[in-house]
Structures are given as C-alpha cells and as structure tokens.
Amino acid sequence: MTEKRIGKGIKVGKDIAKEIKEAVSDALKPLEASKRLYGVTTFTWIMFSMNVCIPLFALGAIGLQLGLSPLEVVLGAILGNLATTIVMMLNGIPGVRLGIPYPVQLRASWGYKGASIPIILRGLVGAGWFGIEAYSASLAITMLLLYAIGYGGGDINAVVVASFRYVAVILVLYIVFATLAVMKGLRGVSRMIDFIGPLLLIYFLWLSLYLVQHQAPALASTPSSMSLLSKSFALYLAIQTNFWATMSLNISDLSRGLYADERGVKALVIGPLIGIVAASAIASLLGYYLTLYTGLSNPTPQEVVLYRAPGAVAVVIGLLFAALAPFTTDITANIPALMNIFTSVFRMSWRRAALVAGLIGFFIAPWWAVEKGPDLVNYIAAFTANYGLILGPIAGIMIADYYVVKKGRYDIEKLYSPKGYWYRGGYNIAAIAAFLLSIAIIYGVSYAINDINIVNLGSLAVPFPTTLSWYIGVATAFVLYPAIMKLIKQE
C-alpha cells in the first residue's frame, strides 16, 4: 500500500491521507515534522512570556488580601503550578509524538463527536480569560493615553476613574489587533513571544526594589504564617492551580510545534518548569510586595505603576509592558482555545474562527462588570477559583485514556477517521459517565466537609464546591474512567 509520511515516524495509508486533507480544516491536520518550530529555548520563552501577564501579578495582591505570608504566597504558587505543569507534560506528549492538536487528541478518549464536549468547556474558560486579559491590556493602554495627554490636569485619580469609564473604546482596537495576530498561526506566534513577558517581570522587580528603598510599607508588617490546611491557603492554592489548569488540557496545541523527538520531550518538561512554576512564584511574590507598599486597597498592577512608578518615563514604560504582556498570553493560550470550538465543532476555517472568537472576546470582557481596581481583582479571584470543577475531570480522563487504557499509543488513522474512535454514536459513554460522576463526587465531598462557595451572578446565587475541586476531579476521573471502560461494552 502506498504510504504518505505525516510526521517523523508517522505513516498513514493514502486513503486516510486523502481524508485528512479533504475532511478536516487546516487547523486540525497533524503538523509535519518539517514545520516543527520549537526546542527547549524557544518553548521555555513561550511558556515564560505566555505566563507573565498582568493577572499573574494580581495573584500576589489576592494572597495579601487573604492574609497569607510571603512564604505562603510563594509556596502556593509553586505547589499549584507544579501540579498543573505535571498534567501539562503528560497531556503534551501526544502533541509531540503525533503533531496533533487538542481537538483531535480528545477523540481517542471522548469519541469522534464526544470530543466536542471538553472542547466547548475548555473554550468557554478560555473565553473568560481572553476577556480578562483583553480588559487588562486595554485598561493599561487607556491609562497610558490619558496620562500622556495630561487628562484631568495630570490628576492621577482622575486618570484612573476615566480609564475604567472609557476602557471599552480601547478594547475594540485591542480585539482587532489580537485577532489579526492569531490569524498568522504558529509562525506569527513564535515571532511575538520573545521579550514582553520577561521585560514586564524585570520592570516589576525594579519597581519593587525601588519602593522598598524609598517608601515604608502601607502595612506595619506582613501577615504572620497560618496553617497550610486553612481555607484561605486552600483558596489561594486553587487560584494558583486553576491559573494554568486551562493550558494543561490543550497544551498539544503548542507542543505539536516541538521537535518530534527527544528534544521535543525535553522542551515539554523544562519549558513549563521554568516558564510557569518558577516565573509564577517570582511574579506572585512581586505582586504581593507591590501591593504591600502602595497603600491602595486591592490595586491592579496598572494602578501600582500609575501611582507609584517614579517619573513619567517609568510610568509610560510600565504601562506599555502591562499592555503588551496580556497580548502574548491571549494569542498563545486563550484565543486558540476558544477558536477550537469553531474549527473542530463547526468546521470553520482558522481565519473565520479567529474573527468569531474576537467578537466573543469583546462581549465577555468585564467592561460591563468592573468600575474600579478592587472590582477587577475580586473578579479574577472569583473566576479563577471555581472553574477547576470542570477542568479537573477532563484532565483525569485524558491522562487515564492515553497512559492506562491506550498504553501510550494513539492510532493516527483512527484519530482522523469517523470509523476510528467512534464508540457509540460517536460518543464514549465511559468518558461522559466518568466526567459527571467526578463532578457529583466533588459536590458530595464539598457538602460533607461544609466547603461550598457561593458565587453571586447578578441576582442568582450559584453554589460551587470546594476550592480544591481540580485536584479531586483529576484523581477521581483518573480512577473512574478506566474502570468504566472495562464495564461498558463499546461498539
């Protein structure tokens, strides 16, 4: 049989090669080995720049608000991000070996049609982060412009109030530029992630040192250490964990761009450890001390720059970095996750999906819900603390399917053929059952230990389970899925 090479070490018959070419969009095709762009250095920078964004520094403010000590903030950042990084490494291996994206990877565990379920769920969370990042960048740009023109006679308070009022105007321009950038695909991404995140981290490190030397802390002392079993630390750990629980699912969208050999696997390990775990610990600590020294109530990092940076040049540079850093996170992590819904479920082209994602990003950005700095910090905390409920079980199912059920092997032909991982009617009932049972168990445990979080969505009070839902979900689904696969006869 005539064969065609798709990637290094991957060969498929001419029939399936034709099917891949004609039946799926370009965004879903396996990436050829010749188009693999990343090694350890580039992938580490991708992780680093993608991770270092304005909301990351806000996590330090959240830690201070919860009454945690600096050591607890660093420990929470390390533990939470290390957990999601391990899941990220495990889920990224199929992308390295086969060059497949997240929507295709899911077909093996959820079924050809069932893959749409986790794609949509992950995409919705990505949409939420897209809105937060877009808002954060637009707020920084708005502050920068108003500050530059001397709005309100140079009164910083007037600039801040006006920035929250007019941010939606700049948000439109941000969405347009982000959409255009994503349309360029992986090569466009690789040219845009080199320096912004690291520069932002260096800037806030410099600003922190400056404030320590020239200003007394707003608080007389830092909070004393509390028990690591306290609800405050558990909440903070959940927020840190869920921050990248998102990308731990669709990491193959990026890892498929790694070299299709040991170099790619090495990059998949080193990149997140440095770019996510280490960077998160440093950035969270900086955000903690920046908040401690400002004297403001739950300030956004943008406000810290505007109020405390020494001189006009320092303010302009800080706000410029604050505007660009979220941009790199959106185009590498958030927008592609949202686009997966449209490219895989609705079979849209990459460009059309980017346009639809941009439109959604504008309306989901919290310009309609945020009026001042503390509102944005609290919004980020509430959002991040609770979506682990749905992402944890998905991660557990993906890992169990690849390493336990499929023994580390996916059939490339089955991934792209409706007759392949079809199960029942295109849905793997075992995955759906494990997902729903895991959520039920999470709620059961939460009510049993009286750890239910009430989130007010307008006039509607929604109960969310324990802040450690992600951990329970990963472990429960990992155990349930293989067991249910043995019990349910697949067609």
pLDDT of residue 180: 85
Return the structure tokens found at 335: 């927008």
* Residue 23 reports pLDDT greater than 80: no
Q: Tell me the C-alpha distance between 264 and 11, whole Å.
A: 19
Distance of CA 4 to the CA centre of its chain: 35
pLDDT in tens, 357-385: 999 999 999 999 899 999 998 889 888 88
Distance separating alpha carbons of residues 439 and 396, to the nearest angstrom:
12
pTM flag (> 0.85): yes
Residue 324: per-residue pLDDT:
86
Q: Which residues of 70-99 are buried (b: 16+ CB within 10 A; e: fewer)?
A: bebbbbbbbbbbbbbbbbbbbbbbbbbbbb
CB 186 within 8 A of CB 325: no
pLDDT digits (tens, 9 = 90+) for 180-203: 888 765 444 445 556 777 888 999
Q: What distance in Å separates the CA atoms of residue 446 and residue 18, rounded to the nearest whole number?
A: 50
The SS3 call for residue 191 is: coil
Burial category of 199 from C-beta neighbours within 10 Å (exposed 0-12, middle 13-18, buried 19 and up):
middle
Averaged pLDDT, 415-434: 93
Nearest to 105 by CA among 301, 251, 307: 251
Does the pLDDT value for residue 82 go beyond 70? yes
Superfamily designation of domain 36-391: Hydantoin permease (1.10.4160.10)
Residue 170 banded pLDDT, cuts 50, 70, 90: very high
Q: How confident is the model at residue 2 (pLDDT cuts 50, 70, 90)?
A: very low
* Integer angstrom CA distances of residue 388 from 237, 244, 299, 344, 438: 12, 10, 25, 23, 12
424-451: burial string, b at 16+ Cβ within 10 Å, e else: eebbbbbbbbbbebbbebbbebbeeeeb
Residue 169 half-sphere exposure toward CB, CA atoms < 13 A:
10
Query: What average pLDDT is seen over the chain?
Result: 87
pLDDT at 20: 41
Neighbours of 311 (CB within 10 A): 8
Q: What percent of the chain has pLDDT over 70?
A: 89
